[in-house]
Structures are given as structure tokens and as C-alpha cells.
Amino acid sequence: IEAQVNSAVALGLSSALLEEVVYVDGMPQARNFDGYPILPPDRMPRVHVRIVESGAPMGGVGEPGLPGVPPAVVNAASVLTGQRIRSLPLSKLDLKGMEG
């Protein structure tokens, strides 16, 4: 479970910070993973996962960790810079106050 949540957080961070799917005439420009930017492991922050037993029947846990990550990152960057952010990835934006 912990590894699944860590992976979901990594995917969410990568999508917020770096990932961009570019199409030209309906064709994706990244034809393989080596041409697609993802967050490298050495830039991944430490994630603290806490497993809380609920007593509910067992179910999936792979995806629930992902959807909240990009909005949380964007909201933090918005608060830090005082700018509204309306597009991703953040690496493509000129955000004042995010240097360094």
C-alpha cells in the first residue's frame, strides 16, 4: 500500500511540475518514454504515508493518492507567488517568486 501511494504521489508531482503531452496534427510528439519528461527519482521529495484501518471491505488503493497532488502543488505555488495559475506544467510558466 505504501509503495502504491508513493507512486501515485510521484505521478501527481510529475504531472504538475513537468509533464506535457504535445500533439501536432493529432499525433503525439513524444513517441517513447525517453522523449517524455518525468520527475526523476532524485527530485522526488520524501513522502510520509500513514495507513489508517477503516474496517471497510478491502478495495483498491492505487489511484486515490494521485488526484489531489497537482491541485495542492498549484495552490502552494499560487500562495507563494500571489499569482493565479491556470495551466500546467509549472515548469513552462514564468512564476515570479519561485526562483531558487
Give the pairing type, strands 27-28 and 23-24. Answer: antiparallel
Distance, first Cα to last Cα, the chain: 34
Q: Is the pLDDT confidence value at 62 over 60?
A: yes
Tell me what pLDDT residue 100 has: 52
Tell me what pLDDT residue 26 has: 93
* Integer Cα distance of 31 and 80 in angstroms: 35
Stated pTM of the model: 0.77
Tell me what pLDDT residue 79 has: 93
Bridge partner residues of 27 (DSSP): 24
Residue 98 binned pLDDT confidence (cut-offs 50, 70, 90): low
Q: Is the pLDDT confidence value at 93 over 90?
A: no
Q: Is the pLDDT confidence value at 75 over 80?
A: yes
